[in-house]
Amino acid sequence: MEGKRVVLCGANAYEKKYYFNKQFDKMPDSIKDELHIICVLFTEEVGGIFTIVFEEDGSLSLETQAEEDDIYYDEISSGLLIGEIRRKRQELLESLSLYYRVFILKEKIGDLLENEENS
């Protein structure tokens, strides 16, 4: 697990599918439901493939991509929508990052909270 990126969830407009990494099944259902809604609504509005990925350091990346010949994919809207998700769901994204760092990377929560206070 350490030293690599891990996909939390994603949606694919081409295949009309949603993916949630079973490694995170212990998350509350309400969080899983919210992630499902975010991913699916993103691909419904913009198209392409949307993923939420944990980086090596525990931070979250919101990523989107499209097939080369997809004339319906809207790159400008995708960037704007990612910015909107980051603003409106900031607390959720920060909580997910904290969850990953504590339960997956096994960092000490006291150290993380102390570093946050000093920022």
Tens-digit pLDDT profile for residues 42-93: 999 999 999 999 999 999 999 999 999 988 898 899 999 999 999 999 999 9
Question: Mean pLDDT, the chain, as a whole number?
Answer: 91
pLDDT at residue number 3: 59
Confidence (pLDDT) at 56: 93
35 is a domain residue: yes
pTM of the model: 0.89
Q: Structural domain of residue 13, as residue ranges?
A: 6-118
> Is residue 12 in a domain?
yes
Domain annotation covers residue 41? yes
Question: Does residue 26 lie within any of the structural domains?
Answer: yes
Domain count, the chain: 1
Relative orientation angle of helices 75-88 and 90-99, to the nearest 10 degrees: 80
Please report whether residue 1 resides in a domain: no
113: part of which helix (H) or strand (E)?
Answer: helix 109-118
Q: Tell whether 51 is covered by a domain.
A: yes
Distance CA 62, CA 84 (A): 11
Give the pLDDT score at 95: 93
Residue whose tokens read 């509350």 = 28
Residue among 38, 5, 32 at smallest CA distance from 20: 32
